[in-house]
Amino acid sequence: MTLIGALDHASVLVFALTGALVASRAQLDLVGFVFIACLTALGGGTLRDVLINREAVFWIADPGILAVPALAAVLVFFTAHLLESRYKTLLWLDAFALAVAVPAGVAVALDAGLGWPVVILMGVATGCMGGLMRDVVCNEVPLVLKQGELYVTAAFAGALAALLLAGMGRETALIACAAATFTLRAGSVALGWRLPVYRPRPPRDGLR
């Protein structure tokens, strides 16, 4: 298996687990679990491959990967009740998935010979869009949009780190990407790292 293939498989597995956990919070049936797990696991990579006009979307080129989110969904369906805090587990699994998916997106874009702005955007899209779809469909507040949390920022920083260290070799750059992404996201979850958010101020002089 290639490095890109390994990253895609890993991100599919972990994002599928997060999708199934969100399905458990929404109290869906088993089919709903599988659907949300697949949507979460495949959404970001599918968007990436379509946007860059890749020869084949990754799960169409390798249909066997579809078994991963399906099995993950079944596992969570029968075991989610054993978790002390499904939301806390979700946050940490999602942070790990983000740290795997962003390097996957970056690697695909680099292999396609795309420019640096597109490489960064493909890293962010691969890491963020599946989770966004998951939360919107399940009527949850999207993690990517929670006030001030480092989510898209973490993905952006990870992709940028990969570009800055590309001269040190591909594997080093992708490891740095994963490390930067996870460090920032984990800091936001565990230590409350935040960006300042917009606070509306009352209009002055009667102007609105």
Angle at 145 between CA 6 and CA 51, to 5 degrees: 45
What are the sequence ranges of the domains in the chain? 3-191
- Give this prediction's pTM: 0.91
Q: For CA atoms 15, 17, 23, 29, give the dihedral sign.
A: positive
**pLDDT tens series, the chain, 208 aa:** 677 778 889 999 999 999 999 999 999 999 999 999 999 999 999 999 999 999 899 999 999 999 999 999 999 999 999 998 999 999 999 999 999 999 999 999 999 999 999 999 999 999 999 999 999 999 998 989 888 899 999 999 999 999 999 989 889 999 999 999 999 999 999 999 999 988 887 766 555 5
Long-range contacts of 83-87 (CB under 8 A, 24+ apart): 86/21, 86/24, 86/25, 87/25
